[in-house]
Structure 1
Amino acid sequence: MKILVLGLNYAPEIIGIGPYTTGLAEALVRAGHQVRVVAGQPYYPEWRARPGHGFWNLERRGRLDVLRVPHFIPRHPTGAMRLLHHFSFALAAFFPMLWAALLWRPDRVIAIAPGLMAAPVGLVAARLSGATAWLHVQDFELEAAEATGLIGRGLFLGKILRQIERGILCAFDHVSTISPAMCRRLENKDVPANRIAEHRNWAEVDRIVPQDAPSPYRALWGIGTEHVALYSGALGRKHGLDLILAAARQLSHRDDLTFVICGNGPDRAALEASASGLRNIRFHDLQPIEKLGDLLALATIHLLPQIACAQDLVLPSKLPNMLASGRPVVATARPQSALFQEVSGCGIATPPQDAEAFAKAIADLCDNPVLARQLGSAARARAEARWSRQVLLANFVGDIEQADKAGAPAILGQRP
């Protein structure tokens, strides 16, 4: 088949949505399909353009073509700037998608959200070409913007945007997302249940394996403490990273524990300023993807804070690889939330914004190595059972191949 993919984020971005859009496109090619991707310039999580990927740059890789389109990248991604960012991508992608719809005639059009603002472009392309329209939702960006204060709750604009969001979601032939809780949220937004499928993000379970030997990053970064509490990923509002600083303050008396925040993003400068004077915390840039296994092996404990109002709007994509590393996770999550359920049995979940409970969970795992090993072993087993890249991508590709314009049959996305 001919499959047209519209996604703002794509490789060489190594965290966030980009790796999963890239993985899906490449899996479709391996299955024998011709794939064209209309993508933005690489910018995440630094929020600045990277060299080597200029405007209207076409990358040909056998049966996979990737067209990069120009768009606005705000240096400080406030709510208004993000709207302009997504609108500029939708505008730039419109004519390439229109051309592909009319001349290339794809059989499937897949739009990735975020950005939802560009999703109507994918829908138009599908309708013009007679293709099946598929929307894959990585997070509910409008509600996340409200939760993090980028858009005020209850504002007239917010109400209008929610109506637009509902209309877009319901217009697609198929809508998939990455967790059961997010599937339920789609139903709450009036998407028919028979169009909804769960296709979660994967872990690199073959490349990321538990390591008994000390991580090379210990020597590289001069870390001599017995324990390391690691956060690796984007540094943005919805992650609630102030909680890590608060825990580091509460545990500053321990000489056996170092906190490491490894990442980039718009909040990094503010976090580093807030951590001034703390001797038990270090900041480092994101590391190359080929070093991810060594980086995750640095952790005694993985840290996964998240603000309360952002839960079930997104299931953090960093979680599967944390589990694959065979280390326990300390996360912030309310009972019955998707994150709580995923962490249960292979880590400790504490109430959001409760720095004392978060710090206590970290200390308890440092002081109880038997429990830490048990939870780490369970984490690895869960990653193998639920997050295998090969299995999840094969299921996703299979459902795309079977999809039709009448709406997804009930079995789609329901494989174990």
Structure 2
Amino acid sequence: MKKVLYISPFFYPEPISTGKWNSILCQAISKRADCTVDVFCMYPFYPQWKIDLSDQQLPGIKIKRVGKGVRFFRSQAINRMILEIYFSVRVLFEMVRNRKKYDYFVCVLPPSLFAFFVSLFNTKKGKVISIVHDLQSIYASQKTGFVWGVIKKLIDSVESYHFRRADKIISLSSEMKEEVARNGGDLAKSSVCYPFVTLAKNSSGPEVSAAKHDSQWGSLDVVYSGALGEKQNPKALLEIFSQVNKEGQKVNAHVFSCGHYYESLKAEYHEAVRFHDLVPEEQLPDLLAASYLHVVPQAEGTSSGSLPSKLPNLLAAGVPILLITDPDSEVASLLSGVAGVEICQSWDKSLITEKIAEMIDSDFNKSELIASRTETLKNFEIDNLVENILEV
């Protein structure tokens, strides 16, 4: 029986992003007859950046949570620093006590510093598998100034040590794999697994379809749903959404998110854009069904740092997608020619609003889009990732 310790601060019941992704992946691993899964994580805190002392469990998975008493602030930079340091110290103690119990240590980056201690204290028995969800060094490189230069060097050093010591490195895109190799990762130990579909197959019914019956909803709704941070270039996105609302009364622009930064953006743009809290997991199929168009933004210069994990769900739901990304990015190549997907490879506001208008005027049939995307969706299957983790 293989014993797996899955390590990430983000986990169930966090509703979006890495926490949701981790939860579904751990469930898939635990269903293997030859595996048991323990999780070392923090109490749920994302995306609100506020500790929730929830002790909700998942069947077949032993969850050990830390973080009681941790406080976060409004500054994302300070919060990231608190997360890096606190979680790394707790992982260090966990490795000292229990490192001999496990056959696999699965580290999901970011944060990155904790993985340094996993590699440092690992025994010969345990295999260290690194899943690179985002590359922090890419985002740090977009910042200027002496302090950010120091931070980038520290991130590079920590990630480089971990990549050199890891037994397997799994990146969520080929661009990320190349960046990992440039920072010390062995290509012979590296593989690529794209993000997987996390969407529930069935909606839980009309009684939870609050979003569809909101008076702010119309027949042509342009939506962004998910975390709002530097990766999404949120102010530029909301300027575009504001313009979309002004140019056509028939079009409504909506944002679904939460957290301190979201609240500040909501206060600034509430007159032009319709804001909503994140919908519960069981309502997500209804939200996608109600949406005419979803926008997936990547901040300029960051496409090699991550691949949007929401893309597989949007493809599977048959939602028309407007992707904003870098020129010649991998995600643009991956989705080129896919039905119902348009790609803007710059943040030119007039170009993007024009593209939204063109898509709004198109007559999309979601059932036909789902059927036409079958081959593309084979790139986004969870079994590929599970096999890559356990084949070491």
* Structure 1 residues 275 and 179, CA gap change in structure 2 (3 angstroms): same
Q: What CA distance in whole angstroms lies between the structure 2 residues aligned with 1:157 and 1:335? A: 27
Q: What CA distance in whole angstroms lies between the structure 2 residues aligned with 1:319 and 1:208? A: 18
CA displacement at 1:133 relative to structure 2 = 1.2
Alignment of 1:55-66 (within 5 A): 61-62=59-60, 64-66=61-63
Identify the match of residue 397 of structure 1 among 386, 389, 392: 386
Q: Which amino acid counterpart does residue 182 of structure 1 have in structure 2?
A: M
**1:137-167 CA distance string (max 9 Å, x none):** 10012322343x4986862343243233212
Q: What CA distance in whole angstroms lies between the structure 2 residues aligned with 1:361 and 1:375? A: 21
Percentage identity across paired residues of the two chains: 22
Would you say the 8 A contact 2:317–2:366 is kept in 1? no
Q: Which amino acid counterpart does residue 68 of structure 1 have in structure 2?
A: R
Q: What CA distance in whole angstroms lies between the structure 2 residues aligned with 1:282 and 1:339? A: 28
Q: What CA distance in whole angstroms lies between the structure 2 residues aligned with 1:145 and 1:220? A: 41
Which residue does 2:218 correspond to in 1? Answer: 225
| SS of corresponding position for 1:207 | coil
260-269 or 71-80: which moved more? Answer: 71-80
Would you say the 8 A contact 1:202–1:387 is kept in 2? yes
Q: Which amino acid counterpart does residue 324 of structure 1 have in structure 2?
A: A
Q: Which amino acid counterpart does residue 116 of structure 1 have in structure 2?
A: S
Would you say the 8 A contact 1:41–1:50 is kept in 2? yes
| SS of corresponding position for 1:308 | coil
* Structure 1 residues 273 and 5, CA gap change in structure 2 (3 angstroms): same
Which residue does 1:259 correspond to in 2? Answer: 253
1:246 is the counterpart of 2:239: yes
Q: What CA distance in whole angstroms lies between the structure 1 residues aligned with 2:77 and 2:46? A: 16
1:119 is the counterpart of 2:115: yes
1:143 is the counterpart of 2:138: yes
Q: What CA distance in whole angstroms lies between the structure 2 residues aligned with 1:98 and 1:293? A: 43
Which residue does 1:358 correspond to in 2? Answer: 352
1:336 is the counterpart of 2:328: yes
Q: TM-score, normalised by structure 1?
A: 0.84
Identify the match of residue 86 of structure 1 among 52, 75, 84: 84
CA displacement at 1:206 relative to structure 2 = 6.0
* Structure 1 residues 374 and 288, CA gap change in structure 2 (3 angstroms): closer
162-171 or 323-332: which moved more? Answer: 162-171
Identify the match of residue 285 of structure 2 among 284, 287, 293: 293
Which residue does 2:299 correspond to in 1? Answer: 307
Q: What CA distance in whole angstroms lies between the structure 1 residues aligned with 2:288 and 2:84? A: 32
243-252 or 221-230: which moved more? Answer: 243-252
Q: What CA distance in whole angstroms lies between the structure 1 residues aligned with 2:79 and 2:200? A: 39
| SS of corresponding position for 1:339 | helix
Q: What CA distance in whole angstroms lies between the structure 2 residues aligned with 1:23 and 1:401? A: 16
Which residue does 2:14 correspond to in 1? Answer: 13
* Structure 1 residues 377 and 106, CA gap change in structure 2 (3 angstroms): closer
Which residue does 1:159 correspond to in 2? Answer: 153
Q: Which amino acid counterpart does residue 42 of structure 2 have in structure 1?
A: G
Q: What CA distance in whole angstroms lies between the structure 1 residues aligned with 2:151 and 2:209? A: 50
CA RMSD of aligned residues (A): 2.7
Would you say the 8 A contact 2:29–2:386 is kept in 1? yes
| SS of corresponding position for 2:247 | coil
* Structure 1 residues 269 and 302, CA gap change in structure 2 (3 angstroms): same
Which residue does 1:22 correspond to in 2? Answer: 23
Q: Which amino acid counterpart does residue 83 of structure 1 have in structure 2?
A: M
Q: Which amino acid counterpart does residue 70 of structure 1 have in structure 2?
A: G
- Which blocks of at least 5 consecutive residues in structure 2 are unaligned? none
| SS of corresponding position for 2:17 | coil
Q: What CA distance in whole angstroms lies between the structure 1 residues aligned with 2:144 and 2:23? A: 28
1:41 is the counterpart of 2:24: no
Alignment of 1:155-234 (within 5 A): 155-204=149-198, 207=201, 216-217=209-210, 219-234=212-227
Q: Which amino acid counterpart does residue 293 of structure 2 have in structure 1?
A: I
Q: What CA distance in whole angstroms lies between the structure 1 residues aligned with 2:190 and 2:25? A: 18
CA displacement at 1:268 relative to structure 2 = 1.1
Which residue does 1:106 correspond to in 2? Answer: 102
Q: What CA distance in whole angstroms lies between the structure 2 residues aligned with 1:220 and 1:16? A: 26
Give the length in aligned residue pairs. 384
Q: What CA distance in whole angstroms lies between the structure 2 residues aligned with 1:224 and 1:25? A: 36
